[in-house]
Amino acid sequence: MSELRSALGRIIKTFRKARRLSQDELALRAGVDRGYLGAIESGQANPTVDKLDAIGEALGVRFGSLIASAAGVPGALDLSQADAEAAVPAIPAHRRSSAPRVSPDGALAN
């Protein structure tokens, strides 16, 4: 098993847990098989660039940052902030509500 694959798997698992996602949920969001995701997290699988990009996108982490962090580039990803970020998970812009806001008196607010 490659040290880079192991490090990458640990990083993915750390961010998945910080975002309170199960392997099933992350796999569904990323479009990969749950068993395959487990193999990636344990460093057993050698994922393609496309799969890593999809996983990164599902986690809200850039592909390049995942790779740089796994390779040991200082400051690539701050894993110490992973838990803090989990409290307010990122919501992609296309999934945010565009419903109008209503003030307490029932009037539409901007």
CA 34 – CA 24 distance, rounded (Å): 5
Residue 38 tokens read as 């487990």
Place of tokens 């068993």: 35
Extract the runs of DSSP E, i.e. beta strands, from the chain: 101-102, 108-109
- How many domains does the chain divide into? 1
| 64, part of any domain | yes
Domain contains 11:
yes
- Domain containing 79: what range? 3-84
* pLDDT one-digit tens code per residue, 26-82: 999 999 999 999 999 999 999 999 999 999 999 998 888 888 888 887 766 655 544
Domain for residue 77, yes or no?
A: yes
Query: pTM score > 0.85 for this model?
Result: no
| CATH code of the domain containing 28 | 1.10.260.40
Asked whether residue 27 is domain-assigned, the answer is: yes
44 found inside a domain? yes
How far apart (Å, rounded) are the C-alpha atoms in residues 36 and 11? 16
Q: Is residue 61 part of a domain?
A: yes
| Helix H or strand E segment including 18 | helix 3-18
